[in-house]
Amino acid sequence: MSTAGGSGRPRVRTGYGVVEGRTGPGGTASFRGIPYAAPPVGALRFAAPAPPAAWDGVRDAGAFGPTAPKVPYPPKFAALLPDPEVPGDDCLNLNVWTPEPAPGARLPVMVWLHGGALTRGSSAVPVYDGSAFARDGVVLVSVNYRLGVLGYGLFPDAPANRGLLDQIAALTWVRENIEAFGGDPDRVTVFGESAGAISVGALLGAPRAAGLFAQAALQSGAPEVLPREKVRAMVRRMASLLKVPATAGAFAATALPDLLAAQGAVLRRSSPLTGGPAFGLVADPDTLPVDPLEAATAADVPLLLGWTTEEYRLWLAPTGALPLMDRLGPLTLALARARSGKDRAAVRALRAALPGAGPAELAGQLLTDRLLRDPLRRLAGARRSASSFLYEFGWPSGVPGLGACHALELGFVFDTLDVPEASWLAGRDAPQELADRMHAAWVRFAVTGDPGWAAWDGDGPPMVFGGPRREESSVPVVTPAVTPPVLP
């Protein structure tokens, strides 16, 4: 049901009550902060998500809801990655942008899972605004889910992978309610970047997510699980700092600010490139019983998979690590080889492909291969039941030193380069034409299951968006003969 509210305030009835949104550019509508599960507080802090309470009357959905509890980025990363914090307990909420908030439209749906190493981020990041998708005929849903120890800490007295269960609860809400917003519950694409892409990979292997989406896109994240002991170690370290038992009961009785302070302390030793302690998904007989990479290989759904040319620069450039790694020379390469599992022949091949590259760049590319390119290529090449489409984002940022770094593609995918926060990572004068092309490819994938270039056959380059423009971004990029069309 859709009803007219006040001027510019459309109303939609969900299974829990009526929400009142806002009319946006071009007549699209947005509904923000809609609860899909009960607030995870008290006894629910470390429990599986519970259904939200129904409400009487009209619930205002004009602003983003509370974000999940988290620790802030370190200052050097906070200057590049906007991460707003909205206070409140009701953090299991989602947002909907739609061109037609009424049943019967049966429009394709895209559900966005944000990144942030499963410890930071939210759906309120301005770059994730869904207006451009709604403008182009797609219902866009973005989701908050529990982070860090609340979502992924491993305890003997709590279910594992609670953040994943939150995401499944959100997808279930979409399945049951999105038709009222103009969406088609049988045409759902789930997509995410970094930790969001790892989450999408897990959803492909989670039995409770079966039937909740028809296709998926993984941006700069490969399906993976962490060793259970590695995740338990994070909890034990926090327990030691807090001087409480390493149980969900003890952590639930701890004040949230103290819990987050301890989490921030243990996270200082964690890095996506070098490993170390981390919160993450684990194999679990109840929530994730199969290896997600194997599940993704067997999944009978189209997949869009890709990476940026210089993923590693986001983690290494802001900290000043690149010059240090160059000075260390052979030691840098030896450590990168050990971490990536590459042999000397791989290093020689990389040197030949990147003449003039220093040890830091070579090491970064080796680690990017290990974390992203190799597993995603193996995944795409091994699939037989449905198509896989590979891409690479090669446009280098206008921010000195970042190159074509991790997360840079997001403002292009969402077509939000005009959002001020997009320039934090992309710099000024990012090419709108490239955003037009990339956003159109994601829209086309949502509508047809084909982003506009040939499915990967196990050989050849991926589809490349953009390319180097300065010497600092010297990774060779091959421009394909076929480019994705710009939809009208």
List active site positions.
Answer: 194, 311, 406
- The candidate with the shortest Cα–Cα distance to 359, out of 369, 371, 347, 368, is 347
Place of tokens 């974390």: 371
3-state SS assignment for residue 82:
coil
Q: How far is CA 290 from CA 151, 201, 207, 222, 296, in A?
A: 20, 11, 9, 15, 10
CA gap 396, 412 in Å, rounded: 13
- The candidate with the shortest Cα–Cα distance to 412, out of 473, 465, 338, 350, is 465
Instruction: Confirm if 246 and 231 have CB atoms less than 8 A apart.
Output: no
- The candidate with the shortest Cα–Cα distance to 375, out of 294, 309, 464, is 294
Amino acid identity at 453: W
First vs last Cα of the chain: how many Å apart?
Answer: 29
CA gap 71, 83 in Å, rounded: 10
3-state SS assignment for residue 64:
coil
Tokens (6 digits) for 382: 């091994």
Helix, strand, coil content of the chain in percent (nearest 5): 35, 15, 50
